Amino acid sequence: MNIAVLLGGISPERNVSIAGGKAVASALRERGHSVVLIDPSRGADALVSEHILTVPANEQVSEDILSISKRELLNSMNSLAFDKIDIAFSLLHGNNGEDGLMQALLEARGVPYTGSKVLASALAMDKNASKIMFSAAGIQTPAWAHFFPKDYDNIELLSETMEELRGNIVVKPNDQGSTVGLTIVHNDIDAFHKAVLFAGQFSKSVLVEQFIEGRELTVAVLGEEALPIIEIVPDGGFYDYEHKYTKGKTQYICPAEISEDVADFVSNLSVTAHKILGCTAYSRVDFRIDEDNVPFCLEVNTIPGFTSTSLVPMAAAAAGIEFGELCERIIELS
């Protein structure tokens, strides 16, 4: 097949996307496919080679990249880069990649692509919308509030929210991934206010949710099947950007050491969450599980990471699916 691997982009997760995209391109070439790399942030010059994409996944993205106009994404679609492409394997994370925008542009260009379609991508990226869908489907999710810019300096509203949610509170952008802009606040109104303002820098709205004390689990869904569950154990602190993309900062236990009944329940919830948002081919569903083994669904990632420390390839390996085979399975399922 003639495959275009989409990587880079203009979100804060650009560098993670580059690392994953290069890994996928290499694996697909080893399996006999013709592969080109496309970075839509470069507009009409979107075709790139591996040697110019050398930024470490755990390095922060520069403001110059983040300020690139969305028009360049459209220009890349109008270029010759997508001619004679059988399918685009999208590893574009975050805004302008995972949120339905690129999916819509690919559909307009007539290029098939991997993963979820426009509506599911947009729903999954919007954490507030996802949690509404989870609740409607009977999937337990942490209590939450959704703030817009007009709310950020409303100290009375922030105080009421902190009282309602109680205990530790997670503050994060409503439509980012990789824990970009995330803060955990410990019953301190000033810290809460600062965290909301900080998260607001990365999104048009902010999600605030109750922190669930306990263990962190994640489940990869491939087709309509849950792969082995992974427990995430960060080395001190919490599972932030640094812990996600720096080798040795986090321990991963796969399969997670939980009872068979709990594992079956969490796996079924993962597939339900995947389906309720209308996801296609694959996703990764994140949970917190409390001391009573009650799972709380946090979010669904429609384009999860594919770096050397990423979780979907890890879960697939535990199920006996080699990395290149996983990439081909995703293409087939898409």
The catalytic site residues sit at 13, 178, 245, 284, 286, 299, 301, 305
Residue 218 contacts residue 318 (beta carbons within 8 Å): no
Place of tokens 């805004």: 95
Residue 40 contacts residue 6 (beta carbons within 8 Å): yes
Report how far apart, in Å, the C-alpha atoms of 59 and of each of 22, 68, 113 are: 16, 18, 28
Residue 237 contacts residue 298 (beta carbons within 8 Å): no
CA distance 120 to 142: 21
> Which residue, 185, 202, 203, 204, is CA-closest to 194?
185
Length of the chain: 334
Relative to beta strand 2-6, strand 34-38 is parallel
SS3 288: strand
Residue 273 contacts residue 256 (beta carbons within 8 Å): no
